[in-house]
Amino acid sequence: MSHPDYRVNLRPLGTPRGVSSLVGPHGVGASPGDKKSKSKTTRGKKKSIFETYMSKEDVSEGLKRGTLIQGVLRINPKKFHEAFIPSPDGDRDIFIDGVVARNRALNGDLVVVKLLPEEQWKVIKPESNDKETEGAYESDLPEELCGSQLPQQSLKGYNDSPDVIIEAQFDDSDSEDGHGNTQNALVDGVKKLSVCVQEKGKEDAGAPVIKDENTFTSQDSRVLPEKSLQRSAKVVYILEKKHSRAATGFLKLLADKNSELFRKYALFSPSDHRVPRIYVPLKDCPQDFVTRPKDYANTLFICRIMDWKEDSNFALGKDCIFTIDPSTARDLDDALSCKSLADGNFEVGVHIADVSYFVPEGSSLDKVAAERATSVYLVQKVVPMLPRLLCEELCSLNPMTDKLTFSVIWTLTPKGKILAEWFGRTIIRSCTKLSYEHAQSMIESPTRRIPERELPAISPEHTCDEVHRAVLNLHGVAKELRRQRFADGALRLDQLKLAFTLDHETGLPQGCHVYEYRDSNKLVEEFMLLANMAVAHKIHRAFPEQALLRRHPPPQTKMLNDLVEFCDQMGLPMDFSSAGALNKSLTEMFGDDKYSLARKEVLTNMCSRPMQMAVYFCSGALRDPAQFRHYALNVPLYTHFTSPIRRFADVLVHRLLASALGYRELPDVEPDSLQKQADHCNDRRMASKRVQELSTGLFFAILVRESGPLESEAMVMGVLNQAFDVLVLRYGVQKRVYCNMLPLRSHHFQKVGKKPELTLVWEPEDLEQEPVQQVITIFNLVEVVLQAEATALKYSAVLKRPGTEGLLDPQDQLGCGNHKEEQD
């Protein structure tokens, strides 16, 4: 989970253009006539390319004395070697010339600069306008460079020479004696593969840098008296790294197919040309990139600068992305990433399998998937929406293989506040497949180093500690997101859910347990919800009449009023005025003891009955935006984006998002037609849910038949005149207990005040004993026995006679869920 291994797992990024000294075969930083640089290259000794940053103490002192100046760095988007910071006195901006003077700072960073000697200041013609002497502000830039939309391809007219050249690791085998050849420019134990500092767009890679016609050294000023000087400076410290350190762009093959470089590298062209172009090793590109480069012409690749030391031309770029799913899951829809930023914030990514790439609209595959509309999860198997080749291999985000994804990436504060948001197609390589149990162990052991043997395989580029840190960071942010979500009025009604373990040979259930919803589940859910909400807003802004959204109507009035009346009768001060008020009542009314938790389960079950189903709809089919709302989440817009392998609605949403981002043409579908698709998805989803419930009931009945009778505590949910309903707490099932199935002498129903009450009189087991009375009221804890019926695969619940010993003590056996649960 950490940002780019986004394919390209861009390894070392190289030196940007604009270095002040020429670079030739003698090495970086050496002039062509510098013989020392040719003869004095030594191994094991690093030569600084950039100045070491000043200490915090010296910076603080310099700012106080006025010898240093701070400001936000702005890089000219049209002349990439030029950068500026505002002058404190409001005069002309201070000029910073070239990458070396910028000292690894990027656009938007808050930097501290030191003025250069006057003879090194920029000389400007008097007729130069302000735009040539000051950096462009964001408002001056085209929209696609301001973060709202990324261009779909790099600017034309750029040749294949990069501004950054990746270095290869030094290999002693280059020469027999291990010392190498000085012509290879073995500097710092690294072999330079190529050198170049020409202007972008210039064809001659060996040509020297040509200065801007408005720029002269101060020695020129004596012959150009009409010129004026612009103060120039160099960066000596970065106070705050405002730039995300992420570069987005496109890959293409080099033009010269006969060159050695062509066999080793591809060219990475950033969308924002204030970031340098890069040679990327082909081993870090998609496996079929060389043979099918056009397939990736419109695919956006991302990398992040991880480190950039003063003794290296290279910024280092990578991270780690991983999945968290049930241990048995094979269709991995989603992956997460989390990168710690220098300013204390996080860059968090949700990466969803790009199923729409593999399912062309109008194809036979598309028609079958649309008809199925959903995968159906039975206890013993999955009936997939898509062919297994797609859902378990090509689309599934299996670890250590390149996968096509749609990503939503945010810059988030530790408190979960969104500072920035980005959408786009990406290629990722998940570093590992974590189960919920793995992630939970990391959350529960924040300081313990988890042994590798306790975790699944992790790709060599990443470590267990790195994954552990990412999980903990995501957990911290998720807790804040969840806290804020419920503070804003969200509601969650958790229902007990059975999970089974099956015999590998017979397929019959060996045991079951109530699935536990833990912090690892909550972690994943929060970011899936965040992505779904973000995409809902994105597609609705782009297509107000054609967005496929998901709404949750308020509870049914009659049933809700009945529940309000029941709670009043029971003396329960529940607030049903809103989703948030109901959630607060359920959360704050009950304690943590066994009885209180059982009462909460029963009341939660009761509260779910008036709730309506959430449904898909086309935004153009409803005229009242108030009807768009999602009651339980308490948000104005919501959709499903995160599970396209198992839900066709998500595939439709992916296509809309692709159109909104310019990856494909605008959707040619009328609101009525899209609403019909939404209705079909709703029907199939409800049918799937019902079949899943029947499958669970069937397998539990088999378990009772094979392993029963089963005992459990139960809580009374409702009382009738001849029977009563219970929630069986150990297994999460609801059953009705009939009086005529019990050895009773008599039973009597009455209402005490408004509370229903059923009095049972048990037939004594010994004729010498007195009959035992038992009063059944709502919220009573009782003991029940589940037993198989003689015919068919059914089971019934009977009340255990008061005062009798347990018939058996069945051990809880672990089971596992089939697929990822998320709030509907």
pLDDT (tens digit per residue) in 355-373: 999 999 999 999 999 999 9
- pLDDT bucket at 287, cuts 50 / 70 / 90: confident
The answer, yes or no, to whether the previous bond of 8 is cis (omega within 30 of 0) is yes
Half-sphere exposure of 760 (CA within 13 A, CB side): 25
Per-residue model confidence (pLDDT) at position 417: 96
DSSP per-residue letters across 501-565 = EE-TTT--EEEEEEPP--HHHHHHHHHHHHHHHHHHHHHHHH-TTT-EEEEBPPPPHHHHHHHHH
Lowest-confidence region among 14-23, 86-95, 232-241, 628-637 = 14-23
Examine the pLDDT at 688 and tell me if it is beyond 90: yes
Residues facing 303 on adjacent strands: 247
CA distance 651 to 648: 5
- Report the 3 state secondary structure along 383-402: ECCCCHHHHHHHCCCCCCCE
CA distance 793 to 699: 9
Q: What is the pLDDT of residues 795-812, one digit of tens each?
A: 999 999 887 654 333 333
CA distance 95 to 347: 31
Per-residue model confidence (pLDDT) at position 289: 83
Instruction: Select the more confidently predicted residue: 744 or 11.
Output: 744
Per-residue model confidence (pLDDT) at position 89: 86
User: Is-above-0.75 flag for pTM?
Assistant: no
Q: Are 778 and 716 in contact (CB under 8 A)?
A: yes
Q: Are 397 and 349 in contact (CB under 8 A)?
A: no
Mean pLDDT of 369-386: 95
- Closest to 606 measured CA to CA, from 553, 559, 554: 559
Q: Return the H-helix or E-strand segment holding 796.
A: strand 795-799
Mean pLDDT of 121-134: 64
Q: What is the pLDDT of residues 697-722, one digit of tens each?
A: 999 999 999 888 999 999 999 999 99
Look-up of token digits 């990027």 = 106
Per-residue model confidence (pLDDT) at position 810: 36
- 171 labelled ligand-binding: no
Q: Are 30 and 304 in contact (CB under 8 A)?
A: no
Mean pLDDT of 684-700: 95
Please give the mean pLDDT across all residues of the chain. 79
Instruction: Select the more confidently predicted residue: 222 or 15.
Output: 222
Tokens of 182: 């000085």
Examine the pLDDT at 819 and tell me if it is beyond 60: no
Q: Are 813 and 510 in contact (CB under 8 A)?
A: yes
Examine the pLDDT at 326 and tell me if it is beyond 50: yes
CA distance 342 to 469: 15
Per-residue model confidence (pLDDT) at position 804: 65
Residues facing 432 on adjacent strands: 322
Q: Are 436 and 499 in contact (CB under 8 A)?
A: no
What are phi and psi for residue 495, nearest 5 degrees? -105, 140
The answer, yes or no, to whether the previous bond of 667 is cis (omega within 30 of 0) is no
Per-residue model confidence (pLDDT) at position 4: 35
Tell which phi-psi region holds residue 362, choosing left (phi > 0), alpha (psi between -120 and 50) or beta.
Answer: left
Q: What is the pLDDT of residues 436-465, one digit of tens each?
A: 999 999 999 999 988 888 899 999 889 999
Instruction: Select the more confidently predicted residue: 709 or 9.
Output: 709
- 325 labelled ligand-binding: yes
Per-residue model confidence (pLDDT) at position 184: 26
Mean pLDDT of 90-107: 89
Look-up of token digits 């293989």 = 401
Q: Return the H-helix or E-strand segment holding 810.
A: none
Examine the pLDDT at 723 and tell me if it is beyond 90: yes
- What domains, with CATH codes, occur in the chain? 51-122+228-243 (2.40.50.690), 322-553+612-700 (no CATH), 709-799 (2.40.50.140)
Mean pLDDT of 20-25: 24
Q: Are 266 and 253 in contact (CB under 8 A)?
A: yes
Per-residue model confidence (pLDDT) at position 686: 96
CA distance 746 to 509: 38
Q: Encode burial over 32-60: b for 16+ CB neighbours within 10 A, e otherwise.
A: eebeebbeebeeeeebebbeebbeeeebe
Per-residue model confidence (pLDDT) at position 221: 42
Q: Return the H-helix or E-strand segment holding 688.
A: helix 671-707
